[in-house]
Amino acid sequence: MLLSVVMPVYNERATIKEIIQRVQAIDIPKEIIIVDDGSTDGTRELLQNLQGENIRVFYHEVNRGKGAAVRTGFQQVRGDVVIIQDSDLEYDPQDYYKLLEPLLDGRADAVFGSRFLGGPHRVLFFWHYAANKFLTLLSNMLTNLNLSDMETGFKAFRAEVVKSLHLKSNRFGFEPEVTAKLAKHRYRIYEVPISYSGRDYSEGKKITWRDGVAALYHIIRFRLFD
């Protein structure tokens, strides 16, 4: 079994080396596919020196969004299973074992790492929590799923699943889009509890209320019109 870790990166100079070290420390055969999405803070220059035997780096010349970076990464996958790993240290690679278990024993086609199923997490923003729960509820209503955390950035898939979905979103619309298309294809989805070390805006958090409003549009668009 070869694991493909797809890592979208945008202006994460402070954390990129640390997250790569944490991923490398996981004792699973793997490749790391890093997609720099037009960084301007020196991240690109660091990445040029980090390519190794199991690390491949790809570059967007301009910032196109997380969804676009993930799509680029998916196109380069060589492994049997795929995990999306954000580069900001919010999601812990030690949870890979939890994410992979339902895939490797044949129960699941996709696994969502839920921040709301009891794992340890940093206490931060109430309104972010409320928005996440509302968006998950709306998504569940339209997809007939019972997820607890549709917006999680920590997702794992069988490789053939990601190659079948024909994704389009460029920014954070990726999460509702991939959820809607998994539901349409009737893929088997599991959730597992994960730890979550959220950061605040002074630490570089990028998602804003505008992305929450856009998510409403994407939830409806990809379930009813795409």
Distances (CA, A) of 212 to 79, 84, 132: 32, 20, 8
Q: Could you tell me which residues come within 8 angstroms of residue 2 by beta carbon, excluding any fewer than 6 positions away?
A: 29, 30, 31, 78, 79, 80, 81
**List of the chain residues with pLDDT < 70:** 120-125, 198-209, 211-212, 224-225
Pairing, β 110-114 against β 155-158: antiparallel
The pLDDT value given to residue 222: 74
Give the integer Cα–Cα distance in Å for 122 and 64.
29
Q: Where are the domains of the chain?
A: 3-225
What pLDDT shows up at residue 100?
A: 98
Please list the residues that pair with 56 across neighbouring strands. Answer: 33
d(CA 3, CA 8): 16
Query: CA end-to-end span of the chain, whole Å?
Result: 33
pLDDT per position as a tens digit, 47-88: 988 877 799 999 999 999 999 999 999 999 999 999 999 998
d(CA 189, CA 110): 5
Q: What's the confidence (pLDDT) of residue 171? A: 80
In terms of residues, how long is the chain?
226
What is the residue whose two structure tokens read 């910032």?
63
- Paired tokens of 186: 């009737």
For 3-225, give the CATH class: alpha beta
